[in-house]
Amino acid sequence: MMIQKFKSILDLIEVFPDEQACINHLEELRWNGDIISPFDETSKVYKCKNNRYKCKNTGKYFNVKTRTVFEDTKIPLQKWFMALYVFSSHKKGVSSHQLAKDIGTTQKTAWFLLHRLRYAFNHPNFKKELSNHIEADETYIGGKAKNKHLCKKSKGTQGRNTKDKTAVFGMIERKGNVIAEKVDDVSGETLKSIIYENVEIGSMISTDEWRSYRGLNDNYSHTIVNHGAKQYVDFMAHTNNIECFWSHLKRGINGIYHWVSKEHLQSYIDEYSLRFNTRKSNTSERFDLILGNIVGRLTYKQLIGHE
């Protein structure tokens, strides 16, 4: 498969000058010449007019957008491609207000478009089991109480609390990928279950002294740095890499989005995680990686359904 290379928006427009060029590229990424029906993978497929296909077994028509984030969209694919390029290549993301100006849509449309792209960022192909030397840490999203107006301050919110903040747990493989999840609490049961699910048994894990990490020595080589005693590095033991990711995540949210709801926070975490995990890829490689794994549909009703 020929990978289209581009380094700027001007290059992107030259590579994808019209809707048909976008459709051809999407078909190549999704099917690579072997068209598969989304309704029955074993069915024979007939090619029809206007970039449509027919599934023989079900009798249903489909196209390359079916059962992807592009399904039933009225926005031209060229605008989708421009949005994906800007969204995936800007290190700290792009706001819906700015994207609306860039691609010529309303802010509401740009907001929905960005969330559909974030939905695609949660594809299983983007997640790999961590191994070797891992750093694990938890953080809290929601702002400092001292910076809030008196009427918005809550009592008993010092330290590790989820009363007016949201807890996020993360793990990073040194020189590798990061995995981060919004969690309801930072208890040992919650954190260790995520570690067991995503980290290869026998790996080395570095954490701080938080009591929830006790017992990791049963399955991992566990090293600890005592932040409470102002210890931040002990030979190979430190959590500097995961804390660097937290800094990047918080600066991005504060600087670009200013505020995110607890309901949608995981989507923003997935956004920053994928950009971090593809930091060694060039612009076109990252673009095609996301575009080739964009299966799955998110409707506006689902997005605002508060589920």
| pLDDT at res. 145 | 67
Phi–psi pair at 67, nearest 5 degrees: 60, 35
Using alpha carbons only, what angle is made at residue 182 by residues 177 and 186, rounded to the nearest 5 degrees?
100
Q: For 262-298, what is each residue's pLDDT tens digit?
A: 889 999 999 999 999 988 888 888 888 888 888 888 8
Contact 186, 137 (CB under 8 A): no
**What's the rounded mean pLDDT across residues 124-137?**
87
d(C-alpha 227, C-alpha 64), whole Å: 52
Structure tokens at 154: 């809550």
| pLDDT at res. 36 | 92
Q: Is the pTM of this model over 0.85?
A: yes
In the chain, the domains with their CATH numbers are: 21-66 (no CATH), 127-145+161-265 (3.30.420.10)
d(C-alpha 256, C-alpha 92), whole Å: 7
d(C-alpha 249, C-alpha 255), whole Å: 10
Other beta carbons less than 10 A from residue 122's beta carbon: 16
Q: For 158-214, what is each residue's pLDDT tens digit?
A: 656 677 789 999 999 999 999 999 999 899 999 999 999 999 999 999 999 899 999
- Give the up-direction half-sphere exposure of residue 54: CA atoms within 13 A in the CB hemisphere: 7
Phi–psi pair at 38, nearest 5 degrees: -75, -10
Using alpha carbons only, what angle is made at residue 179 by residues 162 and 256, rounded to the nearest 5 degrees?
70
d(C-alpha 207, C-alpha 227), whole Å: 10
Sign of CA dihedral 70, 294, 118, 247: negative
